[in-house]
Amino acid sequence: MPKVPIWDLPDVPKGELPPHLELQRTRVLCNLDAPTHTENIQYSGAYASMGVDNSLRLDHFRKNFKVEVIRLTEDDMEFDLIGIDASLANAFRRILISEIPTMAIEKVLIANNTSVVQDEVLSHRLGLIPIKVDPRLFDYMSENDVPNEKNTIVFKLHIRCERGGPRLTVKSDELKWLPNGSEFLLATENSTSNSTLKPKTYTSFRCSQDSLQEFSNNPIAPKHPDIIISKLGPGQEIELEAHAVKGMGKTHAKWSPVATAWYRMLPEVVLLQEVKDEKAVELEKKCRVKVFDIEDVGNGKTRATVARPRACTLCRECIQEEGWDKYVALRRVKDHFIFTIESTGALPPEVLFTEAVKILEDKCEHLITELS
Amino acid sequence: MGPKEDYAVPLESDVDKQFLAAPVKSVVDKFQLLPEFLKVRGLVKQHLDSFNYFVRTEIKKIVRANDLITSRVDPTIYLRYKDVWIGEPSMTIDGVTEKLSPHKCRLSDITYAAPIYVNIEYITGSHGQKTPPVAKNNVIIGRMPIMLRSCCCVLHGKDGAELARLGECPLDPGGYFIIKGTEKVILIQEQLSKNRIIIDTDKKGCVQASVMSSTEATKSKTVIKMEKEKIYLYLNQFANKVPIMVVMKAMGMESDQEVVQMLGRDPRFGALLLPSIEECASNDVYTQHQALEFLEKKVRKSPFSNSSFEKEGKALGILRDVFIANIPVRQSNFRAKCIYVAVMLRRMMEAILNKDAMDDKDYVGNKRLELSGQLLSLLFEDLFKTMNDEVKKTVDATLAKPSRSSRFDFSQFIVKDSITVGLERTLSTGNWDVKRFKMHRKGMTQVVARLSFIGTLGHMTKISPQFEKSRKVSGPRALQPSQWGMLCPCDTPEGEACGLVKNLALMTHVTTDEEEGPIVSLCYCLGVEDLELLSGEELHTPDSFLIILNGIILGKHRRPQRFANAMRKLRRAGKIGEFVSVFVNEKQHCVYIASDGGRVCRPLVIADKGVSRIKEHHMKELLDGVRCFDDFLREGLIEYLDVNEENNALIALYEGEATFETTHIEIEPFTILGVCAGLIPFPHHNQSPRNTYQCAMGKQAMGNIAYNQLCRMDTLIYLLVYPQRPLLTTRTIELVGYDKLGAGQNATVAVMSYSGYDIEDAIVMNKASLDRGFGRCIVMKKLSAINQKYENNSSDRIIRPQREGHDAERMQILDDDGLAAPGEIIRPNDIYINKQSPIVTRGAIVPPMGLNDKQYKPSRQTYKGPEGETAVVDRVALCSDKNNNLCIKFMIRHTRRPEVGDKFSSRHGQKGVCGTIIQQEDFPFSERGICPDLIMNPHGFPSRMTVGKMIELLGSKAGVSSGKFHYGSAFGEPSGHADRVEAISETLVKHGFSYSGKDFIYSGITGLPLQTYIFMGPIYYQKLKHMVLDKMHARGSGPRVMITRQPTEGRSRNGGLRVGEMERDCLIAYGTSMLIFERLMISSDPFKVQVCRKCGLLGYYNHKLKTSICSTCKNGENVSTMKLPYACKLLFQELQSMNIVPRLKLTEA
């Protein structure tokens, strides 16, 4: 018998991978014990011996790439990224978490704090309060910059619990925006000598921030008015000024624009064999998230169908029992990402994503210029 | 939590709402008894009971026993104490009496004490003219430190709001004292029981019977030992051993036959005694007189006794008063003592014939716990007697004076200070020195550990051992089966004190003394045949049992079981004390009745023929609040059993397991654990040492200390910024209040390997979690300063700081009053108090305002903290100390976020340091977007076998997804106090998780799924007090020790890092001789010396002549210069000073 390479056999399709390899390339197989084939095969010549080109082609990407928005609320967004590599999706996720700037309180000038919450803890709590303001309108404040209207937002918090009154809960709506900058005077030696000049404060604003048209009818405030900052007993008082500056999530989580951003690969639930009658009922019952439905096929017979694979949380209950893995296969589609962004409120989630794309673009450009 | 319940929530108000809402299960659920029990008794009830007993009863007894002081000069002049009681805690300064509250004492460094009042009656008058007795009431004889929450304390019976008003934490257990502002707890002392016969063997293997007698008057140890077949008595008062038959004869048992009869009919006993009888005969001792003469020779000569003066009858006196002193001799009737000796001999012989009859010293039933009340009463008695003696002495001295001007008044001679000072000193040093009993014990009190709330509680239940810790013995360290339910099997330290230091279990009660009289008469009423009426022969008739009450033989009873049952019935009916124990010892044919103090006991449910007496309606009444724990006790549904009586009981663990023979049922099995071990969820799934480790570590965890933590001025406080209550709780946690004063946070843990910085138990932490406040802690340290007054009436002064000049910068944080202002950031070398002291402090009195500025020198105090740490002045408190000086205390606060090297631990003895901190985006995330707070290496599990931790993870995960707390009480699965893994898994599946708790995880770095499912969920993590910031240390050059010129030692002195012997060995082996030279000499203490080549001694360099000179040879001819470690030169000089001449022989290099 003459030697024939296996891919020259007539029943092996040309220019296409055999089905088991195709499955391994495009799906993560979520077996009972462990997921397999989680990796992406990047090498362009990985399947060259089979006559299949594995290289990434731009036109191919253009043709196949899709974005479908599933849900969009003020702070939440869920959308599908289809036809993209995990590394790219992950890059967006990482940029969302740590590289999109926001404004957050960085400096707190405490004039008086007699509450039970210590100064450092109070400042820390203030820092974590999300502020509803577009960070793109501000500049970063570098080390030797003076705080001005372009890089600093000043809030004031002055609250006092009267003696004899009930206890007070200080919430984030007590933070009052000071568009003209700090009101605390800088202690200088010759403050009396030139009284004609405006007294020096901790910020040097050239103009009021609310004269800028972006803020004139959209005053800056914390995103949520009901975040508890502290509680005050009778006679206690807090008086402070909080300076918010622009920063990135990688320096401190308070600057992260998202509560979290993540993706999951699209679940794919496949019935390997037909699941009929009692078994179908059993399968339907096993799944708490209602992935399966029961379908009437006539003659009083039923069979299970996969109705809502997206709902699968991979609890693996359906394949838990001995032998069920012959009926059901749980898989993940490697190039289909269900992306969720939970914004903290500074920017709407859809803007966040476009910002993330822009940042990645900038990075790429930067890399190209560096290389050339 | 609603805004309403901020502070001052009383312990019992919301013990468990979930549980209360649940229907009562079919088998009667007795758990609810526990909170009731703790409500009635509190967590440190043993301390409180003991102190209360002392204050209410014991002190009166002591005063009654020593109530008369008569003058030796004139016996008609006397003073009699009529009554004694303890008043309210108060303090008198400059004649003004002020009520004290514990918190005030803590803050202003004073002792929380109350005056001891007496009513007295005395004779006044001088020389012949005597008045009739005069009564005087409310005389203060001293001040007694008061235990917090005891019946004398102002906190007694106060509710949460009232406690909060007094500045006290409602969850604080009390049970300690405040001495000069520091909280002191008297540790529970473990001892062998007194007045009981203990049969054991000595080092040589000889069987001996020993009795530690302890009465109000004397303490003695009697040992009867069998040596070479003969039986001897060892008593300290006799110079050497005494044949026992001589002793019997001396006590009037002249007939050998009677002795043998007393031992019993068994011929083997007679045979064992025969050699002793023969020895007695060989010594020619036949009569009582001869025996006493024989003994007289053996009496130890005390160096102080006046020779032949009262030598006659000394032996008899010893036999009467010292020899088994607990058996009283009335009208020189020695019969009781003889019978007691016979019983001792009989038990010895039984032990010789049958090794099983030997007593186990480690058996908990043979132990007594000495508590603060007993120890204080010992001390008080001694001090009271000393005071009376002193009074007597001064009275005698005054009366002896021939002429007295003033009227004699006995009551004037009572000195208040000796008792006050004595009590205070003993409590603050912890050294108990009672001369009368030759008691010198050290370390009896300790400063209450205020590192964590649980540490404080654990400290109150700590039992300190009688043995020295260094002894290498395994017996006392081993876990005793009789400890069950009484002492915690987990909570013991590691290392040298392992197994010796123990802790009480949750439900343990320690008894106090109870009146014997009524019990004795009751016994006789119940058919005990009086000892006096029995012949020796009748003593040990086969089916009769001896009745022994607190070590004293009352008589015998023919139907012991019936007698015991009758006694128990009376106890259950409340006719005799609830803590009286009745124990029928079948082996020894004895019935032991015990009413003495210091026995450990615990409550159990009584069952009749296996049927629990507690029925469902009882529990319902309890839940409705119409019935309390004491009602259960009073109605005979529950009783206290001590360790001995437990031997007569058959105790079923659960009601369902009870059989026909069962007499008692456990209330809850998890009560065998103590407070510290009670925090561990699922401890019964862990390898046992892990629970022990956690018990030690739980005390080091940071968290909330008490509700008043921010008002306290302790030297060092560690607080967690955002403490949480564990998601997986136990019943114990709720009972002790750990859910309100937690010490840890629920961290989402992924059990996986990450980055390689997680080897050896290190954990990888998420930076975003730390940014958001995970593991943040506050460290507060106290600084204090005193505005001293001096003998010339001048005093320190605190002055306004300079705002200009070169010191102005260091004084930035000072207020105008010269003290650092709260809220200011304090840096190293900042002045925190601008104080000045007068230059002249002694000599002539100066007017108070008379000194001018020149007569003061600055004595500012500067802050010496580590560089680069931004500490803040938290509070400044002013108070006056005991010498009425102004005392200023500063609390310095520092908030820290976790850093690499900080120590963390779960509740399963799994400690680890933070290995690295990783950005959130690099962390793995789950399908639901959950990113773990920390990553733990799975290698921590196989060898540690902490399955409980895995179940905790599962349970917490189920808890967060279903929104309720899950339970993991020890052994709680059958009774529903711990969730079963099956149920937890079911909950997980219901919420879309895998039943195994393993999630599908994506790598945060590549974005691809991991090739395995990851076990992930919340685990309660504790931050331990060991932080790198307090430990890290390195130096280049720095301070040196003056005498050797070598670098100083230790971090606190900025010392060098030592190249030790082993490091040196390595360098030698490696052959780096120059490195050794550098490390050991150049970097340490090089010194140039002049050595004379001729005489080999050290010379000196004369700078004027610019030559080296040998001072011995008186010339500079043969002097060479060389380098030597300064320490070496010092050694030579020291040797020379001791007339040893070290000579150096130099050769050319």
Nearest chain A residue to B1005 by CA distance is A90
Residue B771 with chain A: CB contacts under 8 Å: 252-254
Domain check: are B765 and B807 in the same one? no
Instruction: Check CB contact under 8 Å for B771 and A110.
Output: no
B773-817 confidence digits (pLDDT tens): 999 999 999 998 888 888 887 888 888 888 887 788 888 888 888
Q: Give the position of tokens 């730390």.
A: B770
Per-residue pLDDT for B882 more than 80?
A: no
Q: Which residue in B925, B931, B1008 is closest to A39 by CB distance? A: B1008
Three-state SS at A244: strand
Q: pLDDT-based confidence at A130, cuts 50/70/90?
A: very high
Buried b (16+ CB within 10 A) or exposed e, B1047-1069: bbeeeeeebbeebeeeeeeebee
Residue B1096, domain CATH: 3.90.1800.10
Alpha-carbon distance of A241 to B340, in angstroms, equals: 85
Contact A315 B992 (CB under 8 A): yes
Q: Is residue B565 part of a domain?
A: no
Strands B600-608 and B509-510: antiparallel
Q: Evaluate whether B369 touches B189 at the Cβ level (below 8 Å).
A: yes
Residue B758, in any domain of the structure: yes
Return d(Cα B867, Cα A180) in angstroms, integer.
37
Phi-psi region of A39 (alpha: psi -120 to 50; beta: other; left: phi over 0): beta
Is A120 within 8 Å of chain B by CB?
yes
Are residues B299 and B387 both part of a single domain? no
**What pLDDT, on the 0 to 100 scale, is given for residue B366?**
87
Q: In chain B, whose CA is at the least distance from the CA of A126?
A: B772
Nearest-by-Cβ selection for A332 from B872, B1006, B1009: B1009
Q: Would you tell me which residues 320-349 of chain A have a C-beta closer than 8 angstroms to some C-beta of chain B?
A: 320, 332, 340, 342
Report the range of poorest mean pLDDT among B256-270, B573-587, B930-944, B1026-1040.
Answer: B256-270
Residue B884 has pLDDT above 50, yes or no: yes
pLDDT above 60 (res B307): no
Query: Does A227 fall in a domain?
Result: yes
DSSP label of B27? S
Q: In this structure, are B85 and B186 located in the same domain?
A: yes
What value does the mean pLDDT of chain B take? Answer: 85
Token pair listed for B808: 């102005």
pLDDT (mean) for A81-110: 93
User: Shortest CA distance to B893 belongs to which of A114, A111, A119, A113?
Assistant: A119
Q: Which residues of B are catalytic?
A: 761
Of B6, B895, B989, the CB nearest to A288: B989
Domain boundary among B325, B355, B386: B325
Looking at residue B303, what is its pLDDT? 57
Do residue A253 and residue B778 have CB atoms under 8 angstroms apart? no
Is it the case that residue B8 has pLDDT exceeding 50?
no
Which residue would you say has higher pLDDT here, B132 or B429?
Answer: B429
Task: Answer with the residue of higher pLDDT: A218 or B126.
Answer: A218
Lowest mean pLDDT: which of B331-340, B828-837, B843-852? B843-852
What pLDDT is stored for residue B628 in this prediction?
81
pLDDT for residue B770 is more than 80: yes
Looking at the fold, whether B771 and B781 belong to one and the same domain comes out as no
Contact with chain B for residue A290, Cβ under 8 A: no
For residue range B343-366, list pLDDT tens digits in order.
Answer: 888 888 888 888 777 888 888 888
B905 with B769, same domain? yes
Confidence band for B20, pLDDT divided at 50, 70 and 90? low
Inside any domain, residue B1037: no
Point out the domain boundary residue: A255, A282, A300.
A255
Query: Is A119 touching B (CB cutoff 8 A)?
Result: yes
Lowest mean pLDDT among B104-108, B469-473, B645-649, B695-699: B469-473
Q: What is the CATH number of the domain that holds A124?
A: 2.170.120.12
Residue B25 has pLDDT above 50, yes or no: no
pLDDT at B305: 52
Interface test with A, best of B894, B1000, B1001 (most A CBs within 10 A): B1000
Q: Which residues contact B1089 (CB under 8 A, 6 or more apart)?
A: B1098, B1099, B1121, B1122, B1123, B1124, B1129
Domain-located, residue B904? yes
A264-278, B267-281, B1029-1043: segment of lowest average pLDDT: B267-281
Q: For chain B, state the CA radius of gyration.
A: 36
The amino acid at B89: P
- In this structure, are residues B621 and B557 in contact, taking their beta carbons and an 8 Å threshold? no
Question: Are residues B686 and B769 both part of a single domain?
Answer: yes
Radius of gyration of chain A (CA): 29
Distance, CA of B1126 to CA of B986 (rounded, Å): 74
Range(s) of the domain holding residue A27: 6-55
Chain B residue with Cα closest to A318: B994
> Which distant-in-sequence residues (6+ apart) come within 8 Å of B173 by Cβ?
B42, B43, B44, B149, B456, B457, B460
Residues A37 and A127 in one domain: no
Would an 8 Å CB–CB cutoff place A167 in contact with chain B? Answer: yes
Tokens of B1077: 């030279």
Q: How far is A345 from chain B (nearest CA, A)?
A: 17
Same domain, A132 and A244: yes
Containing domain of residue B915, as a range?
677-776+900-1023
pLDDT value for B721: 93
pLDDT at B2: 41
Whether A75 contacts A201, CB under 8 Å: no
Q: What is the pLDDT of residue A196?
A: 56
Residue B716 is encoded by which pair of tokens? Answer: 């060092």
pTM, to two decimals: 0.89
Q: Tell me, yes or no, whether A141 lies in a domain.
A: yes
Do residues B691 and B907 touch, judged by C-beta distance below 8 A? no
- For the record, the structure tokens of B38 come out as 């703790």
DSSP structural state of residue A135: G
Task: Tell me whether residue B327 is exposed, middle or buried, using C-beta atoms within 10 angstroms of its C-beta: 0 to 12, 13 to 18, 19 or more.
Answer: buried
Most confident of A177-181, A363-367, B45-49, B150-154: A363-367
B46 DSSP 8-state letter: H
Contact predicate B732/B722, CB 8 Å: no
Q: What is the pLDDT of residue A194?
A: 54
Same domain, residue pair A134 and A249: yes
The number of distinct structural domains making up chain B is 5
Q: In chain A, what residues touch B988 (CB-CB under 8 Å)?
A: 315
Q: What is the dihedral of CA B372, B375, B376, B382, to 10 degrees?
A: 180
Q: Is the domain of B316 the same as that of B373? A: no
Q: Do B1007 and A93 touch (CB under 8 A)?
A: yes
Task: Kindly state whether residue B923 falls inside one of the protein's structural domains.
Answer: yes
CB of A35 within 8 Å of a chain B CB? The answer is: yes
The answer to whether the Cβ–Cβ distance between B929 and A231 falls below 8 Å is no
> CA of A111 to nearest chain B CA: how many angstroms apart?
9
A-chain residues within 8 Å CB-CB of B752?
Answer: none
Same domain? A20 vs A142: no
Tell me if A248 is assigned to some domain.
Answer: yes
Taking residues B32-36, report their average pLDDT: 76
CA distance B888 to B796: 13
Average pLDDT over residues B527-540: 79
**Contact of B738 with B1020, CB cutoff 8 Å:** no
State whether A51 and A126 are in the same domain.
no
| CA B377 vs CA B54, B62, B68, B435: distances in Å | 6, 8, 19, 14
In this structure, the answer to whether residues B184 and B218 fall within a common structural domain is: no
Last residue of a domain, one of B1023, B1043, B1062: B1023
CB nearest to B1007's CB, from A87, A98, A340? A87
DSSP B709: G
Percent of chain B with pLDDT over 90: 30
- Average pLDDT rounded to a whole number, residues A18-44: 89
pLDDT surpassing 60 at residue B19: no
Distance from CA of B881 to the nearest CA of A (A): 27
Closest to B1006 (Cβ–Cβ): which among A30, A90, A261? A90
**Would you place residue A333 in the very low, low, confident or very high pLDDT band (cuts 50, 70, 90)?**
very high
Residue A14 lies in a domain: yes
- B698 and B793 share one domain: no
CA distance A319 to chain B (A): 11
Final residue belonging to a domain, choices B1006, B1023, B1040? B1023
Residue of B nearest to A288 (CA): B990
Cβ–Cβ below 8 Å for A342 and B872:
no
Torsion from C-alpha of A201, A203, A209, A212, nearest 10 degrees = 120
pLDDT at B925 over 90: yes
Q: Percentage of chain B surpassing pLDDT 70?
A: 94
Inter-chain touch A30–B1000, beta carbons under 8 Å: yes
Residue A201 DSSP symbol: B
Confidence (pLDDT) at B126: 57
Residue B12 has pLDDT above 60, yes or no: no
pLDDT digits 0-9 by tens, A132-146: 999 998 999 988 888
How close is the nearest chain B Cα to the Cα of A224, in Å? 17
B175 in the same domain as B46 = yes
- The total number of residues shown for chain A amounts to 372
What's the average model confidence in pLDDT over B1017-1040? 91
What confidence score (pLDDT) does residue A338 get?
94
Q: Are residues A32 and A176 in the same domain?
A: no
**Band of the pLDDT at B158, cuts 50, 70, 90?**
confident
- Spell out where A202-345 has E strands: 221-222, 228-232, 237-247, 258-271, 292-298, 301-306, 328-343
Q: How far is B148 from chain A (nearest CA, A)?
A: 26
Contact between B490 and B677 (Cβ < 8 Å): yes
Neighbours of B1148 (CB within 10 A): 4
What's at B218, amino acid-wise? T
Calpha distance B1088→B1100 (Å, rounded): 10
Amino acid B302: pLDDT: 63
Would residue B63 count as lying in a domain? yes
Among A91, A98, A340, the residue with its CB nearest the CB of B919 is: A98
Specify the range with the lowest mean pLDDT, choosing from A161-165, B274-278, B302-306, B989-993: B302-306
Q: Look-up: residue for tokens 């203060």?
A: B140
Nearest to B117 by CA among B101, B140, B99: B140
Same domain, A146 and A250: yes
**A179 and A119 share a domain?**
yes
**Are B50 and B174 spatial neighbours (Cβ–Cβ below 8 Å)?**
no
Residue A25 domain-assigned (yes or no)? yes
d(CA B1043, CA B1131) in angstroms, rounded, equals: 11
Residue B526 lies in a domain: no
Question: Which tens digit of pLDDT belongs to each residue from B650-689?
Answer: 999 888 888 888 899 888 888 899 999 999 999 999 999 9
Q: Which of A119, A252, A318, A331 to mutate to probe the B interface, most B CBs <10 Å?
A: A119
> What is the rounded average pLDDT of the residues A90-109?
93
Q: Which of residues 122-141 of A touch B (CB under 8 A)?
A: 124, 128
Burial class (CB in 10 A: 0-12, 13-18, 19+), B849: exposed
CA–CA distance, B61 with B54 (Å, rounded to integer): 9
Q: What is the pLDDT of residue B125?
A: 64
Same domain, B904 and B866: no
Closest CA of chain A from B173, distance in Å: 24
Q: Which long-range contacts (CB under 8 A, 24 or more apart) does A57-66 make?
A: none
Number of domains observed in the structure of chain A: 2
Beta carbons within 10 angstroms of residue A270's beta carbon: 13
Same domain, A114 and A173: yes
The DSSP output letter for A326 is G
Name, of A47-51, A352-356, B1081-1085, the range with top average pLDDT: A352-356
- Give the burial string for B956-984 (b: 16+ CB within 10 Å, else e): bbbbbeeeebbbbbbbbbebbbbbebeeb
Q: Is B103 helix (H, G, I), strand (E, B) or coil?
A: helix
Tokens linked to B789: 């007054």
Chain B hits for A252, Cβ within 8 Å: 771
- Three-class secondary structure of residue B1114 per DSSP: coil
Whether B1092 maps to a domain, the answer reads yes
10 Å CB burial of residue B943 (0-12, 13-18, 19+) is: exposed
Q: Coil, strand or helix: which one is A187?
A: coil
Give the residue numbers in B contacting A (CB under 8 Å), as ranges: 3, 6, 710, 721, 767-768, 771-773, 776, 778, 823, 872, 874, 893, 895, 919-921, 925, 927-929, 931, 988-995, 999-1000, 1002, 1004-1013
On whether the CB atoms of residues B407 and B116 are closer than 8 A, the answer is: no
pLDDT at B1062: 94
Q: Is the pLDDT of residue A105 over 80?
A: yes
Chain B residues near residue A89 by CB distance under 8 angstroms: 1007
Tell me the HSE value of B187 on the side-chain side, using a 13 A CA sphere.
25
Is the CB of residue A256 less than 8 Å away from at least one CB of chain B? Answer: yes
Based on the fold, state whether residues B180 and B73 are members of the same structural domain. Answer: yes
A97 to chain B: closest CA residue: B921
Q: What ipTM was estimated for this complex? A: 0.93
Which CATH number covers residue B207? 3.90.1110.10
Average pLDDT, chain A: 88
Report yes or no: A170 and A228 within 8 Å, Cβ to Cβ. Answer: yes
User: Which candidate, B631, B603, B634, B600, places its Cα nearest to that of B618?
Assistant: B631
